[in-house]
């Protein structure tokens, strides 16, 4: 929104200009809040993905060989 930093600091006595600046800044605030929410959702999604991977790796590490085969149905090549 092309306002120079010095322009934000200069006081004005024109009510319409003040209203315009307020509207612009509220628009920027809304845009930033929207991006912040997207960022939070992205972080939460990555944390969930990390937890899921850790759970899967933990479950894979706790299995014993042959435990996934039903009793009495062993692979004949292992005999």
pLDDT 10s digits, 49-62: 999 999 999 999 87
| In a domain? residue 47 | yes
Range of the domain at 53: 16-59
pLDDT for res 63? 65
**Number of domains, the chain:** 1
Report the predicted TM-score, pTM, of the whole model to 2 decimal places.
Answer: 0.56
Residue 29 is encoded by which pair of tokens?
């605030």
Quickly list DSSP for 26-38: HHHHHHHHHHHHH
**Contact assessment for residue 31 and residue 54, using Cβ atoms and an 8 Å cutoff:** no
From the CB of residue 55, how many other CB atoms can be counted at a distance below 10 Å?
A: 10
16-32 residue pLDDT tens? 999 999 999 999 999 99
| In a domain? residue 50 | yes
| In a domain? residue 76 | no
| In a domain? residue 72 | no
* Torsion sign (Cα): 42, 46, 47, 48: positive
More confident site: 79 or 56: 56
| In a domain? residue 6 | no
CA–CA dist 38, 12 (Å, integer) = 35
| In a domain? residue 11 | no
């Amino acid at each position: 929104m092309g306002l120079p930093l010095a322009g934000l600091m200069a006081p004005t006595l024109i009510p319409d200009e003040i209203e315009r600046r307020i509207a612009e800044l509220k628009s920027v605030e809304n845009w930033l809040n929207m991006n912040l929410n997207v960022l939070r959702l992205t972080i939460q999604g990555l944390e969930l993905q990390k937890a899921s991977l850790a759970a899967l790796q933990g479950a894979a590490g706790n299995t014993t060989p042959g435990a996934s085969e039903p009793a009495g149905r062993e692979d004949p090549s292992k005999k």
